[in-house]
Structure 1
Amino acid sequence: MALFRRNRGGADANDEGNAKPKKEKGSWRRPANTAFKQQRLKAWQPILTPKTVLPTLFIVGILFAPIGGLLIWGSGLVTEMTFDYTQCENQTPSSSSADLTYHNFTSYKYQLKASDAHAPYNPPSYAFVNNSGNAQCYVQFDIPYDLAPSVFLYYKLTNFYQNHRRYVNSYDSNQLKGQYVSTSTLNGGDCKPLATINGKAVYPCGLIANSLYNDTYSALTSATSPSRTYNFSQTGIAWPGEAKKYATTPGYNVSQIVPPPNWQKYSGGYNESNLPDLKSDEHFQNWMRTAGLPTFSKLYGRNDDTTLEKDRYTIIVDLNYPVISYGGTKSIVISTVSWIGGKNPFLGWAYVAAAALLVALAILGTIRHMVRPRKLGDMSLLSWNR
């Protein structure tokens, strides 16, 4: 045994001069010895004392207050009127459009600009007409004062969850861009269960397109002077760049595609003359940009040139979109804008509330410090000051 040990030792001794130094175990995983990788960067940690905290609370609170006031003032420049016509179809129908029986709205809201907050107006009303299955709602409402352009017309839905995981992904972007997408690819993609029908591709496929909002709105007609109308343009209502996501014509032959089941406009199917031009259909583009909350508004029309004069107006709504079945509502929204955008007083009041809270905390802290001051430690004893 000793012999073997000597031989082994001798071999080790002979190879000692040629052997490379072994790396310490685990050294190949050790980060480089730098301040960043070894977490030795210099840092500054403020010491919170009454002399620093209380003035900071006062300063931030004083800054937040005028910002909130400015936002409230900007929101106060906006006029917004909302008319919920969900129950119109449940009213006793009028015999014809020439003999309308109006009923008072059960839900509406006038949010007038601050300078005309007390302008008088009559309650809105609606009448239901159902001739040969063509259901229409005649909505009458007051414009209590002149609205300078731009004036916007929105539709508003509630309890509609466009952000549902399955719904929000239910489309095929390649198909929308005009590319040919086979039925097998569609069936294996996100458009199911509305990918194909009877072996033909649904164009455009998916749940979002199938549920496209299809109530339509007429121009505003003066109730006192029927010859006077106010028109809304249906161009310029989608976000810039949205049209790039869509094609003018589909990447299919007409015989290869069918419309979504809920598209009443194409109840007879597609032909060479009625294929949808998704690139120019801004209503479709707005609908495909899904909302993040169950209550949302989408722009339907705009007028950037003409003042909407004070008067009582009628707008005719073709009732096609069901909302009562799922517990939702639908409304017309007429609004102006200001430099802050639409009507949104919440942001301004949030700033004001934060300012009030910060100033109140600063005052309480000051009183507490003056009545019962807390004895602070000697900062010279801190480790980095020794």
Structure 2
Amino acid sequence: MDSQQQQDQKQPSSIGQAIKQQVLKAWQPVPTLNSTIILFGILSVYFLSMGIVLNVYSGKINQQSFRYDAFCQGYPICDFTIALDTNYTAPVYIYYQLDNFYQNQRRYITSKSVEQLSGTKGLGVDDLSSCYPVITNAQMNKTVAIDGTPLTPTDPAIPCGLIAQSLFNDTFDISYELNNGTLVQVPVSSQGIAWPTDLEVYQNTDVSQQWYNVTDERFIVWMRVAAMPNFRKLWGVINQDLPQGRYSIVITNNYDSSQYGGKKYLVFSTTNQFGGKNEFLSVAYICVGVASSLVTIGFCLKKYFSRAGPKKL
């Protein structure tokens, strides 16, 4: 190796030297009064426009909710009559709403076994500590599997945990009442109500050892816990138009909301390109748009008075 090559190896590259000395070329935006006015002006137009559009679209969504827990209190099955005040275009989504139910409690959220729900076999009681305090069939108060096989009280409950134990299990049979009083059954499907990503995760282990089918989409929807104490979860979808009129709802009243002072509602709703009815989102956009507009006006006034300047005597 000649001396020139040795000298080149000893000298650091210009890029490496620039990085070490922190002298690389850089660009940093320097906001001016004009650029700030333009930026906030664009933001105000965007957020106000989106807020108005969302508000208009949300107003076109048909939605009605009916509280039934007080009416059905003490009855295992009750016939609940409702009236839809407008025509509902398919698909019509059926939700149940629970008030004052805190699914976001720390112990409640962690009380499940992801491995068990994904179909992992051979999990014993010692492997299901995450399901505490509901691990065994005795603690779950279940004695029969979904195929009719008796369950051993000391065996692991499948599924285990507090979330599964508190599963919402009211059911609704909906019928349309014709003018002559005849009732026409309205089919409600539970297919497609769960997230596709969740459907890939939930797998049955052994139906002769399970007290519930974990691939049931209503169960999967329940297992995705809500962040707020008042929440709605999708129960089913009606793939036909619902005309305005009276409907008879036969409710199997299994879920006791009086234990925690809660309320139960049945909700009918349609959707649009932006999803379900969501007035909060449109109000939030409008508020941000108004705030941006006020900032824009403030900078415009600042620019105007800066140009005017003090008058010379």
Superposition pairs of residues 1-386 of structure 1, within 5 angstroms: 35-36=18-19, 39-90=22-73, 130=75, 135-178=76-119, 179-186=121-128, 189-196=129-136, 197=138, 198-222=153-177, 224=179, 225-250=181-206, 254=208, 257=209, 259=211, 276-279=212-215, 281-304=216-239, 306-372=240-306
Distance 1:343 1:184, change over 3 A: same
Relative to structure 1, the CA distance from residue 59 to residue 177 in structure 2 (aligned partners, 3 Å threshold; closer, same or farther) is closer
In structure 2, what is the Cα distance between the partners aligned to 1:180 and 1:39?
Answer: 58
CA distance in 2, matches of 1:177, 1:243: 10
Contact 2:117 2:204 in 1 (8 A): no
Provide closer, same or farther for how the CA distance between residues 61 and 140 of structure 1 changes in structure 2, counting only shifts above 3 A: same
> Structure 1 residue runs of 4+, over 4 Å off?
32-41, 372-375
After TM superposition, the structure 1 stretch with the greater mean CA deviation from structure 2, 233-242 or 200-209, is 233-242
Q: Which one-letter code corresponds to 2:132 in the other structure?
A: K
Q: Distance in 2 between matches of 1:54 and 1:150?
A: 45
Number of matched pairs: 278
Q: Secondary structure at the match of 2:94?
A: strand
The match for 1:118 is none
RMSD (Å) for aligned C-alpha atoms: 2.5
What CA distance in whole angstroms lies between the structure 2 residues aligned with 1:235 and 1:369?
60
Residue 142 of structure 1 deviates from its aligned partner by 1.6
In structure 2, what is the Cα distance between the partners aligned to 1:146 and 1:326? Answer: 36
Which structure shows the higher helix fraction?
Answer: 2
Deviation of the 1:154 alpha carbon = 0.6
d(CA) in 2 for partners of 1:373, 1:201: 78
Flag structure 1 segments of 5+ consecutive residues without an equivalent.
Answer: 1-31, 91-127, 260-275, 376-386
1 CA distance for matches of 2:219 and 2:97? 15
1:176 and 1:204 in contact (8 A); partners too: yes
- In the superposition, the TM-score normalised over structure 2's length comes to 0.79
Call closer, same or farther: CA 1:34–1:292 in 2, change over 3 Å: farther
Instruction: Name the CA distance, whole Å, in 2 between partners of 1:230 and 1:37.
Output: 73
Query: Residue 176 of structure 1 contacts residue 250 of structure 1 at CA under 8 Å; is this kept in 2?
Result: no
Q: How far off is 1:161 after superposition?
A: 2.0
1:217 deviation in Å?
Answer: 0.8
- Deviation of 1:339 after TM superposition, in Å, equals 0.5
TM-score by length of structure 1 reads 0.65
Q: Give 1:185 deviation, angstroms.
A: 1.9
Gap change, CA 1:36 and 1:210, over 3 Å in 2: farther
Q: Shift in Å at residue 372 of structure 1? A: 4.9
CA deviation digits over 1:106-151, x for unaligned, max 9?
xxxxxxxxxxxxxxxxxxxxxx7x3xxxx23332222122211010
Unpaired runs of at least 5, structure 2: 1-14, 139-152
Kept after mapping to 1: 8 A contact 2:111/2:132: yes
Alpha carbons of 1:177 and 1:50: their partners in 2 closer, same or farther (altered >3 Å)?
A: closer
Q: Name the CA distance, whole Å, in 2 between partners of 1:372 and 1:243.
A: 62
Structure 2 residue identity aligned to 1:137: C
CA contact (8 A) 1:153 1:300 kept: yes
Are residues 49 and 208 of structure 1, via their aligned partners in 2, closer, same or farther at CA, if it must alter by over 3 Å? same
> Is the CA contact (8 Å cut-off) linking 1:86 and 1:330 kept in structure 2?
yes
Asked if 1 retains the 8 angstrom alpha-carbon contact of 2:175 and 2:183, the reply is no
- RCO (CA 8 Å, sep 6+): is it higher in 1 or 2? 2
1:370 offset after TM fit, Å? 2.1
Look up the SS of the partner of 1:208 in the other structure. helix
Contact 2:221 2:234 in 1 (8 A): yes
- Asked if the contact 2:94–2:269 (Cα under 8 Å) also holds between the matched residues in 1, the reply is yes
Task: Measure, in 1, the Cα distance between the counterparts of 2:259 and 2:20.
Answer: 60
Contact kept in structure 2, 1:249 and 1:277, CA below 8 Å: no
Q: Secondary structure at the match of 1:47?
A: coil
8 A Cα contact 2:174 2:247, kept in partner: no
Once the two structures are TM-superposed, the CA of residue 358 in structure 1 deviates from its matched residue by 1.6
Does the C-alpha gap of structure 1 residues 88 and 35 become closer, same or farther in structure 2, counting only changes over 3 Å? farther
